[in-house]
Structure 1
Amino acid sequence: MEEQRIVIHNDMNAFFASVEQQANPELRGKPIAVVGGGGRTVITTSSYEARAFGVKTGMAKWEALRVCPQLIIVVGDNKKYTYTSARIMEMMKEYTPLVEVFSIDEAWMDITHSLSIFGTPERIAYLLKARIKESFGITCSIGIAPNKLLAKLASDLHKPDGLTVIKPEEVSRVLERMPIKELCGIGKKTEYQLKVMNINTCGELGRCDESRLTRKFGIIGSRLKQMGQGIDDSPVTPNEEDDEVKSVGHSMTLRRDVERREDILKYLLQLSEMVGRRARRYGVSGKTVTLHVRFADFYSSFGKQNTLKSYINLSDDIFKAAVAILDTTELPQPVRQLGVKLSNLKYQAEQLSLFRDVQKKSDAIKAMDAVNDRYGEFKVTFGSLLQSEDKGSHVISPAWRPEGIRNVDVQ
């Protein structure tokens, strides 16, 4: 008989805001919102006191202040968050080596083989919650279930500071009336398409004819049906072993809306340098460049990509590809947010060029990367960026992982 898996999902509650409240006692018990370092950015996260007034992640500052005039705006400190996250992830590894980091404030643990040492799943969860509270003064919500999908669902059911267990025999009952949007992996677009098909709950999704789903969604139709049934065979994969990271990207919310092409190009060059530098650090190159633009009304946006004939990781090559995409699109409004991504990656072994000019350029790029790695972002940069107001993304990537990118999908 196959051993029943036991998976924990640990979700830190209002993580950035909680860290700030513990760092500054004057903020405790008050509605606060964490934002990026720019003069104009969106809410990264908010405290539960602020959420009670309707302050949500992704809101513009003015909108958050409108629904909660007493809101305290706090500029985020990424170093505090990454340090705290890394320590918590290390703490989790004391209970099992099978820890998969999902984002800076979420991770799964496979504790199937840890029970002989630590006792019941609930005891492990309580021990972890108590240690996090004692060490950092913050709370987390934990879900315990037979797989990753259900464990994440369970951790969302009772917040903050919750502990929810979904046992194998309870899966059908729990999912029967659960809205489909509660399942990790079903976004707004998929939710809308399913509702058009009159599928509103997980129970209805699990009972839906698979052929009907595959006609609508293709190969993922089978996966959607399994999700509705609470089936998930994906293993908890330690991040040093995973191959999920398939792109390198950066985005930034601008200090002010921009319309002039030369201003937009300056930001694109900056983003391209950030993407290129990371790609070179990881030893990868990519063939597909994606440009994402969000407009001044905050709700309108577009994303386009272009696959090149050869692999690239030099900043100016990424920049040229991004500009080529930009030039195929009319901008109906001023631009509020920009993003550049390099994907379709492969490992790139370094080779000496036969051409002197190319090799000199490569050596100069390596020297610039070395200086910036040691002394910080944009200490050495392109001349056109010297007058730039923004130096780097103002909001930490939600996909940040303490270990960084260990493995990249190789084409």
Structure 2
Amino acid sequence: MTPLRLALLLAITTPLTLVGCGGGSGGGDSGGDSNSDGSSNNGAGSVAGDGLGEFSLDITDAPVDDASKVIVEFTGVSIKPAEGEALRFDFPAPIAIDLLSLQGSSSAELLDAVEVPADNYEWVRLEANASLDGTLDSYVEMKDGSQQELWLPGNNPELKLVSGFTVPDTGSADFTVDFDLRKSLNSNPGRGGVMMKPVMRLVSNETAREIEGQVAGELIAAQCADASLDDGAVYVFSGETTPQDLQGNDGDPVLTALVKADDGEFEFELGFLEPGTYTLSYTCDASSDDPEAADELTFAGTEVVNIEAGDAEFILDGSEDDSNVGQQDDDTEDEAAGDDSSSDDDSSDDSSSDDGSNSDDPTAGNGDASSDNDSVSEDSSTDDGDASSDDNSNAQDPTTGDSGPSDGSSGENGESSTDAGSSAG
């Protein structure tokens, strides 16, 4: 299923300003930044020739329970090639996006086929107006209508995702940045407002899969004290595993989705998943899941689904019926023709992108985009080429605003904004 692309009129009708950022060339930058799992971004894929390619970037979000809006005011996008300075695309005017409106397969467009050098790239950075300065340029609107300032620690707030990708010569690279607000927001940082420690994934739109499904009403009635107040959520874990609450480790869910009641049916939608095998499980306790602490959540209806062959429709009812394990949609049946592996076979074609776990065979630049790291890679570097700052093992100190593992903040050396040409948005 093609994701709903909510095109931003301003970004489409007004040219973007392309700015060369002062990140230096060679030296530390050429060594590649470290990911959260300790792997390197080098070798994201080979680039045939020294020409140009096109880069597109969308944004989407996984939901939270206690907010009705999460507004982030974006000012531009930067991408860093393996060699040379970062390229920054400044928006003509700040763009305010409600991340909570971008759930499931919905996304908003940030960059549309901008022309960039064909190269291997190390990271993507989203520039934003999100300082703790008393201005509601970025903010969270709670369900009671109150608004709280949304802020990123540091003097130069940004959202940096260290995840290597390739823009092929004369080809295109089309990606979506997936925010996980359930893991990112801290409503009690000790300094007022809501602090964001961004947790993000970079997903190739060429290979992204979607799961649409329902949770059986009987299962919800058995798990929820009052389903009229909370329909719960579906947690998605990489591989076949035992579900757990958010704990800030490798066992955390890749994605979560709120269950929504519609004419007596309880539906959920999960978008922008890499092909692979996943464990899905329902809980009515998602609203009490604190990403900073271990919580006792009750999971039910756990099932395994494989989406190597394509999108899936799924019913979570707690049964072991094989018919629940990945139902391929009509759009991908032709692609899977001739493939002996069924949609629930874990031995699917190794050439397809996996679920983000230990992929050591990067795709060559053959006209298709490739990403060598689909896991969460938050960064709080203070220099474009400082790989050591990507260590996610250090905690954020909310009382001082010092940069920690996932806050995405940076103390970048002053980046001038002089026009260096324009790219069509």
- Note whether the superposition's TM-score is higher than 0.5: no
* Bigger relative CO (Cα 8 Å, ≥ 6 apart): 2
TM-score normalised per structure 1: 0.25
TM-score, length-normalised on structure 2?
A: 0.25
Give the number of the structure whose residues are more often strand, by fraction: 2
Could you say which structure has the larger radius of gyration? 1
Q: By percentage of residues, which structure has more helix?
A: 1
